[in-house]
Amino acid sequence: PLQVVGGKVKKPGKRGRKPAKIDLKAKLERSRQSARECRARKKLRYQYLEELVSSRERAICALREELEMYKQWCMAMDQGKIPSEIKALLTGEEQGKAQQNSTKLAKAVKTEANSSNP
């Protein structure tokens, strides 16, 4: 019944390790520990998802308020009125453009002055 293959003695039967006699109490304890860890992971996952949902709900509320504000502005403009917020935005942009233009002009003057000096 012993076979010699490639210089090694082969025994008939199953391959691999034979299952050792595992202590039943240790196996049960490992199973309990695994279940505890699984429940803890599940709890953390649900907490994360709940936080994600609440943050998305807050974002939705903020966007709805913003949309409502824009609707009010559109209704006012349809009636020929310009909301004060839009006026402020427009005058702010005009001031910003004026500042940008003056900055560009100042840079151009400096560049011109530097290039004319040897």
pLDDT in tens, 50-79: 999 999 999 999 999 999 999 999 999 999
Residue closest to 75 by CA, chosen among 90, 67, 87 = 67
- Answer yes or no: is pLDDT of 97 > 80: no
Give the CA diameter of the chain. 105
Beta strands in the chain (DSSP E): 3-5, 8-10
What are the domain boundaries of the chain? Answer: 24-87
Residue with tokens 């199953």: 14
CB-based contacts of 73, cutoff 8 Å, min separation 6: 83, 85, 86
